[in-house]
Structure 1
Amino acid sequence: MDLFNSALGRNISFIRPAYFILSGFIGLPYMKYYYVFLFFVYIVSVLGNTAVMAVIYLDHNLRTPKYVAVFNLALVDLLESSALVPKVLDIFLFNHYYISYNDCMTFLFFCFTFLSMQALNLVALSYDRLMAIMFPLHYQTKVTNRKMLSLIAFFWLFVIIAVLNAVGLLTRLSFCKSVVINSFFCDHGLIYSLACNDHFPSIVISFFLPVLILWFPLAIILSSYLCIGYTLSKVASVQERLKAFKTCTAHLSVVSIYFLPTIVIFSIGPKIHQNARIISLSLASVVPPMLNPIIYVLQTQEIKNSMKKAIERRKSNIMVK
């Protein structure tokens, strides 16, 4: 960030507050019950995603391109939950509403990075399903672990650069008005709206970021399923269509629980009460990482079989001892 600011001119000075105040959940009734719920969601997210990662890592049969992407999704969900929920509980449950300037920028960077990576990881999974159904005979040559890892690495690099630019633009702003952020985390849009100097570049990047990390990925995923639907329509047997479509159900479920709440919040957010928007946004941020591993365990036969084998081995070892 210092290099970014130096490029703007060495004689430029910025008014940076020592801290921001997060007021997202302050004053809402029965919030202690909600904090208990958030803690429960976080524990389930950690246990579920860790279990999925462990199963994929330990079972050599699951080291395929599809499960490379599933492993990364579980990792992103784990990181996103760990970056957001403990900090939110610390701030609002223990009344630590003041967050330092640098901590706020760091909080923003990690939250936006992991939330954005969730969407792009779903693109990687849709690519895998598209190739598997449209080119079943050439799938193993078209989609390899190396290609999937390269795609995921590209997405990570893209997201990190995009979010770093957004955070870098915030560091050139002066804050001589309010330092109160009306959210439960350091929200990019709410921060630059507090600035008292020109924040047009931040407005521009706040327009392009949702397009690049939300709407564009969603468009790619929907397009891939249109192609999948067209391919399956040419399959003669209904049983074969259902069998092929069943391999997509877990991915479709995860896509739905990630994108639908976000789209609804973006669509009706300005029309609903600010408190309702804050609660809805917090739920849309913490619930998908909890549900994703449950969906993949329940709807993916390979993971279920691997977990059953692991449990049976564990039982047999206990009985031997």
Structure 2
Amino acid sequence: MNQSRVSEFLLLGLSWQPQQQQPLFLLFLIMYLATVLGNLLIILAIGTDPRLHTPMYFFLCNLSFVDVCFSSTTVPKVLVNHIFRSQAISFSGCLTQMYFVFMFADMDTFLLAVMAYDRFVAICHPLHYTTKITHQLCALLVTGSWVIANLNVLLHTLLMARLSFCADNVIPHFFCDVTPLLKLSCSDTYLNEMMILTEGSLILFIPFSCILASYVHITCAVLRVPSPRGRWKAFSTCGSHLAVVLLFSATISAVYFNPSSSHSAEDTAATVMYTVVTPMLNPFIYSLRNRDLKRALWKMIHRKPFSL
């Protein structure tokens, strides 16, 4: 690996305007606290209620854990930098942050696809659900997602580590994102860009295609339900999940699959959407429309401390 001449980078954050930094700090702090609290409540509710020990809630629990970790890789650094008036991050720290950001982003994508498959089997093949979605399959799907996500991100991190950074070390972003880093490199970044456009796009679009195919079959099955109330319930639940998928996939595609474009304010806004906003929204989307989960949350919140 080439020795980089740059030992640290400077993260400019979300805004260069001093009057905007304090409101943005408060906004990020509120969103981060909401993300952590909301997702931890989901995990605790599922863990303490035996009736929720099913494959659907197992995947939701994993998604909540990933969302907490995902948001924690970027937002705390933004908050600490603001408090201590520091913008520096070491070269190794930058690569480490990039690694975990994209590992958890991949895990979000894979888990959303797995959850779509789970709903497909539950709605389209309800009589065979318990024989198809076994505990062994659930563990295999989650473990396989972690392995593939780590291998994918390791590839991109090693490709980034071989690059040289000679002079400019200012990253116009709030975390070590791959696109601004490629702009700062004085090495040939052609291989990095090609891997993002090919292997990286497969990691995103294969799960998205599986989600889309699952929802096509789910829609066809729901339309055959005779009860209008039953159709509306299924569509409202699936619609929320599909909205998260579309928001997540669209923002990632807009940012990363055009590496030659300059990093703009629109790219930063799109990045905030998938790194901060989506992890915050997930627990609300999956709990507000779920009667069993709401019951478990209510029971857990009103449980006496000594009974825990």
Tell me, yes or no, whether TM beats 0.5: yes
User: Residues 315, 111 of structure 1: CA spacing in aligned structure 2 closer, same or farther, 3 A cutoff?
Assistant: closer
Q: CA deviation at 1:208?
A: 2.6
TM-score, normalised to structure 1's length?
0.86
The amino acid that maps onto 2:158 is G
Q: Which region of structure 1 is more displaced relative to structure 2, 263-272 or 115-124?
A: 263-272
Flag the structure with larger Rg: 1
Long gaps (5+) in structure 1? 6-12
Render the CA deviation track for 1:67-103: whole Å, top value 9, x for unaligned.
Answer: 1110000000110111110012222443221211101
| Corresponding position of 1:182 | 172
The amino acid that maps onto 1:169 is L
Alignment map for 1:123-142 (pairs within 5 Å): 123-142=113-132
| Corresponding position of 2:204 | 214
Q: Which of 12, 15, 32 is the equivalent residue of 2:4?
A: 15
Render the CA deviation track for 1:277-316: whole Å, top value 9, x for unaligned.
Answer: 3244224320111111112221111101112233444399
Q: CA deviation at 1:198?
A: 2.4
Q: CA deviation at 1:34?
A: 0.8
Q: Which of 195, 207, 214 is the equivalent residue of 2:185?
A: 195
Return the alpha-carbon distance in structure 2 between the equivalents of residues 197 and 203 of structure 1.
12
Secondary structure, counterpart of 1:99 in structure 2: strand
Q: Which of 18, 21, 30 is the equivalent residue of 2:20?
A: 30
Q: Which of 34, 45, 57 is the equivalent residue of 1:55?
A: 45
The amino acid that maps onto 1:292 is N
Q: Is the 8 A contact 1:250 1:300 kept in 2?
A: no
Q: CA deviation at 1:230?
A: 1.7
Long gaps (5+) in structure 2? none
Q: Is the 8 A contact 1:25 1:183 kept in 2?
A: yes
Q: Is the 8 A contact 2:179 2:259 kept in 1?
A: no
Q: Is the 8 A contact 1:181 1:191 kept in 2?
A: yes
Return the alpha-carbon distance in structure 2 between the equivalents of residues 305 and 250 of structure 1.
19
Return the alpha-carbon distance in structure 1 between the equivalents of residues 95 and 274 of structure 2.
21
Secondary structure, counterpart of 2:304 in structure 1: helix
The amino acid that maps onto 2:54 is T
Secondary structure, counterpart of 1:255 in structure 2: helix
Alignment map for 1:72-221 (pairs within 5 Å): 72-221=62-211
Q: CA deviation at 1:191?
A: 1.2
Q: Percent identity?
A: 34
Moved over 6 A (4+): 266-273
Residue correspondences, number: 307
Render the CA deviation track for 1:84-131: whole Å, top value 9, x for unaligned.
Answer: 100122224432212111010111111111122111110010010000
Q: Is the 8 A contact 1:68 1:149 kept in 2?
A: no
Q: Is the 8 A contact 1:64 1:144 kept in 2?
A: no
* CA root-mean-square deviation: 2.7
Q: Which of 248, 252, 255 is the equivalent residue of 2:245?
A: 255
Return the alpha-carbon distance in structure 1 between the equivalents of residues 145 and 63 of structure 2.
12
Q: Which region of structure 1 is more displaced relative to structure 2, 280-289 or 162-171?
A: 280-289
Secondary structure, counterpart of 1:20 in structure 2: strand
Q: CA deviation at 1:152?
A: 1.2
